[in-house]
Amino acid sequence: MTYSELEMRAYEAFIRRAAALDFPFMLKGSYVTRQYFAQPTDRTPQDLDWVYTGRIGSPAEAKTVFDDWATRVTELAQDDGVVFQSFQKNAFWRMIDYAMADDFPTINTDLECWVDGEHFENFTLDISFNLPLELPSEPLIYQPLQGEAFYLPHTPPLALQVAWKLHQTLVRPRFKDLFDLLHLVRHPSFNETTRERALEALKKECRADNTDFGRLRWLLTGNLQPLYGTPTAEALWQAWRHNSSAFVPSQFYEQRAVHITDAKQLPETLAGFEQQLQKSFQHAGFDAVLEQLPAPGANNKKNSSSEKRGFFNSLLDFFS
């Protein structure tokens, strides 16, 4: 068993147990995203991210709620070859006292488990809370790497996943989000209604942090350079796609393509990738909204503050 397979077995065992308990926790991130790929094996997931959909008022309440959930999940037995150490044996949450100062706090902890008898201790669990959700969660039939599919009661709807990744791209683009968008907007269920819901959710997020909504025009037309600025999109593409040794400032670093997919299946050039993006957005009907978009930079004063806020938010997201 490779390390990636070991990690997926462990993380999906936690997802399976959490699904069986049906507490108000919504799975988000790459473990959900890959379920929308035509071939889920084309996307290697990374972190295990959850959103608590209730409201937390204090660090003490957060610890009580999350301790109870993590303990119940880790103590639930399933016939999947995975055994967890009870969370009670090492119950802690990093920075829980300081997280409450953030608008949308995220905390994390470490778990231990054994997969077919093999010890796995690099298990990191992230939970965000007090996050406003523009659309309600939806159930998903989840197909794990190994074993039968199961019912997962709370996941972000496709429209919200697209809105989140579009917003991240307008604030600070990352090739992994663009790669995911290629596949999300190609999903058979992405129709006109889904597109309209995604755009409405995106508009609300842009209004909330003064992100320039007009920047979407560059993305939809496959023009990535204005979104990236400096370092250039080409330099970051070479680092991400081809693992070039060129220096990339830490705030712009992201895991290389080889860590999330078979990089050999990606276009060789940035121009080829931009063409894929443009065609995917056209196929999903986004051309219909181009005429309605404001020009990029039409609200430069607001966008200046949003770029600063977006930069620090993305740093927090990167290191969480």
- Quick one: 83 and 230 in the same domain? no
Task: Compute the average pLDDT of residues 42-52.
Answer: 97
Residues, the chain: 320
The pLDDT tens digits of the residues spanning 245-302 come to 777 777 777 889 999 999 999 999 999 999 999 999 999 999 999 989 999 986 654 4
Residue that terminates a domain, selected from 124, 156, 188 = 156
pLDDT of residue 252: 74
Contact 175, 183 (CB under 8 A): no
pTM: 0.90
| pLDDT tens for each residue of 73-120 | 999 999 999 999 999 999 999 989 888 888 789 999 999 999 999 999
Verify that 60 and 152 share a domain, yes or no.
Answer: yes
- Picking from 156, 173, 196, the residue at the C-terminal end of a domain is 156
Is 138 in the same domain as 171? Answer: no
Q: Note whether 31 and 71 are same-domain residues.
A: yes
Q: What is the pLDDT of residues 132-143, one digit of tens each?
A: 999 999 999 999
Amino acid code (one letter) for 40: P
Residue 74: CB atoms within 10 Å: 23
Q: Are 156 and 32 in contact (CB under 8 A)?
A: yes
Side chain identity, residue 99: A
**For the chain, what is the mean pLDDT?**
92
* One domain, residues 108 and 201: no
pLDDT value at residue 299: 61
**Domain hosting residue 193, numbered range:** 159-319
What total number of domains does the chain contain? 2
